[in-house]
Amino acid sequence: MPAKATEVIVGVVGKISPADAFGALTQIVSVVRESIEIHETESTKREKLVTYRETEVARIKASERILREYFDRVFDERKVTNKRLFDSLDLALQSGDVAALQAVVGGIVDVARTSPMAGIGELRRAMDDPNAVFEF
């Protein structure tokens, strides 16, 4: 260092009191301590969010499994019911049995009314409504 630079540093350091130096050190320690605390707090929050996400994903997957099993069973049962209804419709048509034909068509209409597709119009209207609230 040139002599003048050394003189400037010595001159500045000479003007800083020990109390000022201690204050600066205290400030550095305080800021570092606060930074460490914030880092630990944010790390804990991130861990909690990861745990929350994993828990919610597991709940969704469990619900999905239940819903899939339910749909598989319901639609399998409907498949059997539908086959029987339409087989009966064919028999009623072949035999010309008007009473059986009316009963079978009534059964088909009932199945259509309880079909998962029966409420699609209502669901579509709700989805198109910007004020509709869906709760999960």
| Angstrom distance (rounded) from CA 85 to CA 11 | 104
User: Which pLDDT tens digit goes with each residue over 80-111?
Assistant: 888 999 999 999 999 989 999 999 988 888 87
pLDDT of residue 9: 60
Cα–Cα distance for residue pair 77/71, rounded to 1 Å: 10
DSSP class of residue 130 equals: T
User: Residue ranges of the domains in the chain?
Assistant: 16-128
Confidence at 6, pLDDT banded by 50, 70, 90: low
Contacts of 88 (CB under 8 A, 6+ apart): 100, 104, 107
Eight-class DSSP state of 97: -
Tokens representing 50? 């990861």
Average pLDDT over residues 11-33: 82
Q: Which residue has the tokens 């201690």?
A: 22
Instruction: Name the pTM for this structure.
Output: 0.46
- CA pair distance 22, 24, nearest whole angstrom: 5
CB 116 within 8 A of CB 108: no
